[in-house]
Amino acid sequence: MGNLLKVLTCTELEQGPNFFLDFENAQPTEGEREVWDQVNTVLQDSESILSGLQAYKGAGQEIRDAIQNPNDMTLQERAWNSVCPLVIKLKKFYSFSLRLEEALRSLLTSLTCPPLTPTQHLEREQALAKQFAEILHFTLRFDELKMRIPAIQNDFSYYRRTISRNRLNNMNLDIENEVNNEMANRMSLFYAEATPMLKTLSTATTNFVAENKTLPLENTTDCLSTMASVCKVMLETPEYSSRFNSEDTLLFCMRVMVGVIILYDHVHPNGAFNKSSKIDMKGCIKVLKDQPADNVEGLLNALK
């Protein structure tokens, strides 16, 4: 039995076909294996990235002490020695965003290439669709956590100010082997975003469309709108949502639905909220509002 079950067939609604996608059990076919393995190598590290971000404490107190006592070298060193390991962590998170970007491009290439339609791709390449969903799920979780940690930008700002000052004083800065000026500039732009991972994926999707000029735009937007429809059906239909073994899969569906809507909004010339959109925005928002408020507040804010 396939994991992707057609729920509404060619009696298609205005918003296109709807599917039930088994996010818990989809396994790669031989044809999917190469791309699946490549993407899986990236996704295997996603939980450790989230754990590292969740455990991020920052060096706020050490930085405050150093700033308030500029002539106390002991406090200056303590702040610097506290911040440097954190900057290495932040580089690790940023580097992961680049790997995730490559993984997304591989999946988009597979799920949009002719002669199959995006719907046919999702039917036949269920495991890749699941990985696409997992990338979006990770992305929104990462950004939700990052928004609650103002220490990240404070720490990195202090690092950049201090390294510039120390460079002027010709101090030995071993950390520049890890985070040179060019890397620091790129990291600074990344962390300045409220939702840096989502911004990375949005830009990657926009670039994918721009670089593949022979590929019809509809191939990409239809892939995204169909995924949104998949998630909406699963969330609003108890017959389907009850098939999940874990309640966490419902939140997974919500995050994925919001993620593909945002990507669609970036890529489609008229956006996701236009009347011509193939995404049933009213229906998607209603589905979110029917869930417990604690689960969806961040997702509704992301859509706003």
pLDDT of residue 136 exceeding 50: yes
> For residue 300, is pLDDT > 60?
yes
Q: 161-175 pLDDT, tens per residue? A: 988 876 645 554 677
Tell me the average pLDDT of the chain: 87
Rg (CA), the chain: 22
How far is Cα of residue 157 from the mean position of the Cα atoms in its chain? 24
Buried b (16+ CB within 10 A) or exposed e, 123-157: bebbbbbbbbbbbbbbbbbbbbebeeeeebebbbe
Q: Which residues pair with 20 in a beta bridge?
A: 5
pTM of the full structure: 0.88
| Distance separating alpha carbons of residues 207 and 55, to the nearest angstrom | 33
Give just the sign of the alpha carbon dihedral 122, 127, 128, 129: positive
Strands (E), the chain: 4-13, 16-21
Q: How far is Cα of residue 265 from the mean position of the Cα atoms in its chain?
A: 15
Give the pLDDT confidence score for residue 18 in this predicted structure: 55
Q: Is the pLDDT of residue 2 over 80?
A: no
Q: What separation in angstroms does the CA of 257 have from each of 44, 204, 219, 237, 282?
A: 22, 18, 18, 15, 13
Across the range 12-27, mean pLDDT stands at 65
For 114, 123, 137, the CA distances from 9, given in Å and listed in that order, are 21, 12, 27
Residue 243 above 90 pLDDT?
A: no
Contact in structure between 111 and 128 (CB atoms under 8 Å): yes
CA 295 to chain centre: 17
Total residues belonging to the chain: 304
Quick one: 70 exposed, middle or buried, by C-beta within 10 A (0-12, 13-18, 19+)?
exposed
Report whether pLDDT(108) > 80.
yes
| Lookup result for tokens 């609604």 | 13
| DSSP-assigned letter for residue 176 | G
Residue recorded with tokens 């996608």: 21
Residue 228: how many CA atoms within 13 Å on its side-chain side? 28
* The pLDDT value given to residue 72: 92
List the chain domain ranges: 22-98+111-194, 216-303
3-class secondary structure, 97: helix
Element housing 54 (H / E): helix 46-54
Sequence-distant (≥ 6) Cβ neighbours of residue 67 within 8 angstroms: none
